[in-house]
Structure 1
Amino acid sequence: MKNYPRILRPTQWLKNLMLFFPPFLSGAILAPEVAVKGIPAFSAFCLASSAGYILNDIMDSEQDRLHPTKRFRPLPSGVVSPAVATALAGFLVLAGIGVAAITQSPRFLLFLLLYLLVTAIYSLKVKDIPLLDVFCVATGFIIRLEAGGEAFAVPISSWLFLSVFLLALFLSIGKRLTEKHNLGDGAGLHRKSLAGYPDGFLEGAMYLTGGAVLVTYSMYTLSRSHLFYTVPLCCFGLLRYILRVKSGQSGDPTESLLKDIPLLLVSLAWAAIIGWRLYF
């Protein structure tokens, strides 16, 4: 039974905190209704995202058996059968939809259904297509952001939309670059899209999107001058992630945040400064 929590990938639920960005950045995170609306919204996306991870593991189990680290996951290692995993994924999908339908607006439910559709398309086909794979991952973050805006009735500004999309694209490209570097000549056998990226392309794309993130986030803070002091932290975080990737360390965003102390500290400082300026 200890393998079932592993197949859900609970550490990846951190990505669903994107739902709380709209109320946090609008100064409404301390409102009592945020917890009432936020807990079921977060739960629905956690259930849906875990279903997506299980589907992805089912589709990748053959290749993952040859991967140096992924072969220890429950499905590739054989400790959880594909039939049980499929049933579990189906239950999680229905549970997530049920929670959203009962507690949230119809538009939020549509965002959740769209997220499920995007993750399914990604797992079944798009993950093998260069560029479309990273754009599909970035779209998942945008859906979370828009769903959070809908759940808490907070409009999403154009600059925030662009900042989140480009940041998600930057992190996805960094993860692909790490995989391509660490897997070497066999990268295409583990992830087909990696074979379609020429040498130097992912590195250049990471620099391009990183610079674009800094510009769009700066424009977002200029529209709200009391947040401008966080731009240096954003710059440091981007450069620290690039340094991490170029040093051969994991480019996984969640793992980087949890295991890289400078990145974790700068993230906490960013949240603390915004919290101080908006709430105190």
Structure 2
Amino acid sequence: MTERTAVLEQEHPRRRTPVDQPGGGRLDLTLGLLRTARPRQWVKNVLVVAAPAAAGELFSPSAFLQLLIVFVLFTAAASAVYLINDARDAEADRAHPVKCRRPVAAGHVPVPVAYAAGSILAGLAPAAAVVLCNPLTAALLAVYVAMQLAYCISLKHVLVVDLAVVTAGFLMRAMIGGLALEIPLSRWFLITTGFGALFMVSAKRYSEAVQMAGKAGATRALLNEYTTGYLRFVWQLAAGVAVLAYCLWALEEGGIAGTSLLPWRQLSMVAFILAVLRYAVFADRGTAGEPEDVVLRDRPLALIGLVWLAMYGLAVADW
């Protein structure tokens, strides 16, 4: 280094990115990748136990191990989508007051690294499922990744289709555990889960639309195309269909009384309907954000959910 170069370096030191920092660069990059994978969203993947729980095949050691594998694989697939999405939207996120803090937008994770990590996970999850689970599980994971990437690229800008894709993501989570354990999926299970997911997704969109009403720069450009009246109609319709399907399951022939001490299937309808009505309070107020946040933040709703789980478990166990 010449004397002149040294003087210039002292006057205008080169700005180091987190990856350039000695010692802590790799750690910062790893933490940045982990943050980009959205660990808070991983709780949604617990839905993989839904179908086995509904069939009463949740507690055998082999089923537990298989579901743990499915949870990890689905988490990897979902993380791949987040990584690729943030890499694709890096420039737009830098202009956003909140999203600019995301690791890729903030420069903590280089865009090529995010693309590479996402691509590896997107290919690895279905491939591992072929070996560790079965072809149906692998196919569902591959379809999930393809659908979610299509959503990131273009489908999130298409009216109604955006709601359907997000809803399908929740439904796939609920289905994949049953596919991995080769459990037949009940029509009532699919209808209740699908419309229950649509209820929560549209309630969240409605809340976003209410909160952004009259403000410029909505967090989702498509919100400007929806009306709050339409989104209200969607979540009310979805809630009604979910409740109806659940009640038909609870009252269908063969589910009445049985050998149980009490008609737990029928009694669980009360808790299920109360949970939907309680959740609808937040939807109506325009404060229904992420479903897991709504449930964990409201103690009465969480308690109703636990009561429903207990009744549902007793119904499945036929106590």
Q: Shared topology, TM-score over 0.5?
A: yes
Matched, 1:260 2:260: no
**Residues 175/75 of structure 1: CA separation in 2 closer, same or farther (3 Å cut):** farther
Matched, 1:274 2:312: yes
**Residues 169/100 of structure 1: CA separation in 2 closer, same or farther (3 Å cut):** same
1:249 counterpart SS class = coil
1:130 counterpart SS class = coil
The structural deviation recorded for 1:186 is 4.4
- Residue number among 131, 134, 137 corresponding to 1:105 in the alignment: 134
Cα distance in 2 for partners of 1:249, 1:63 equals 26
Matched letter for residue 83 of structure 1: P
The structural deviation recorded for 1:231 is 1.4
For residues 61-210 of structure 1, the aligned pairs below 5 Å read 61-65=90-94, 67=96, 69-186=98-215, 189-210=218-239
- Residue number among 194, 211, 233 corresponding to 2:271 in the alignment: 233
1:77-131 alpha-carbon deviations (Å, 9 max, x no partner): 3333322211221122233123212211111111111111111111111111111
Matched, 1:15 2:53: no
Task: Work out whether residues 74 and 141 of structure 2, in 8 Å CA contact, stay in contact via their aligned partners in 1.
Answer: yes
Cα distance in 1 for partners of 2:194, 2:51 equals 14
1:243 aligned residue? 281
Unpaired stretches in structure 2, ≥5 consecutive residues: 1-27, 257-263
Cα distance in 2 for partners of 1:189, 1:247 equals 18
Cα distance in 1 for partners of 2:90, 2:284 equals 28
Cα distance in 2 for partners of 1:175, 1:58 equals 25
Larger CA deviation: 105-114 vs 234-243:
234-243
Matched letter for residue 185 of structure 2: I
Task: Work out whether residues 52 and 116 of structure 1, in 8 Å CA contact, stay in contact via their aligned partners in 2.
Answer: yes
Matched letter for residue 276 of structure 1: L
Task: Work out whether residues 91 and 105 of structure 2, in 8 Å CA contact, stay in contact via their aligned partners in 1.
Answer: yes
Cα distance in 1 for partners of 2:278, 2:47 equals 21
**Residues 39/240 of structure 1: CA separation in 2 closer, same or farther (3 Å cut):** same
Instruction: Give the share of equivalent positions with the same residue, in percent.
Output: 29
Task: Work out whether residues 64 and 190 of structure 1, in 8 Å CA contact, stay in contact via their aligned partners in 2.
Answer: no
Cα distance in 2 for partners of 1:250, 1:101 equals 37
Q: TM-score, normalised by structure 1?
A: 0.91
Matched letter for residue 150 of structure 2: I
Residue-pair matches, total: 280
Matched, 1:43 2:43: no
**Residues 162/70 of structure 1: CA separation in 2 closer, same or farther (3 Å cut):** same
1:190 counterpart SS class = coil
The structural deviation recorded for 1:20 is 1.1
Matched, 1:217 2:255: no
Larger CA deviation: 155-164 vs 97-106:
97-106
The structural deviation recorded for 1:67 is 4.6
Task: Work out whether residues 188 and 195 of structure 1, in 8 Å CA contact, stay in contact via their aligned partners in 2.
Answer: no
Task: Work out whether residues 243 and 273 of structure 2, in 8 Å CA contact, stay in contact via their aligned partners in 1.
Answer: yes
Task: Work out whether residues 179 and 187 of structure 1, in 8 Å CA contact, stay in contact via their aligned partners in 2.
Answer: no
2:203 counterpart SS class = helix
1:42-72 alpha-carbon deviations (Å, 9 max, x no partner): 1110100111122233344444445554343
Larger radius of gyration: 2
Matched letter for residue 192 of structure 2: S
**Residues 19/128 of structure 1: CA separation in 2 closer, same or farther (3 Å cut):** same
Q: CA RMSD in A?
A: 2.1
Larger CA deviation: 213-222 vs 184-193:
184-193
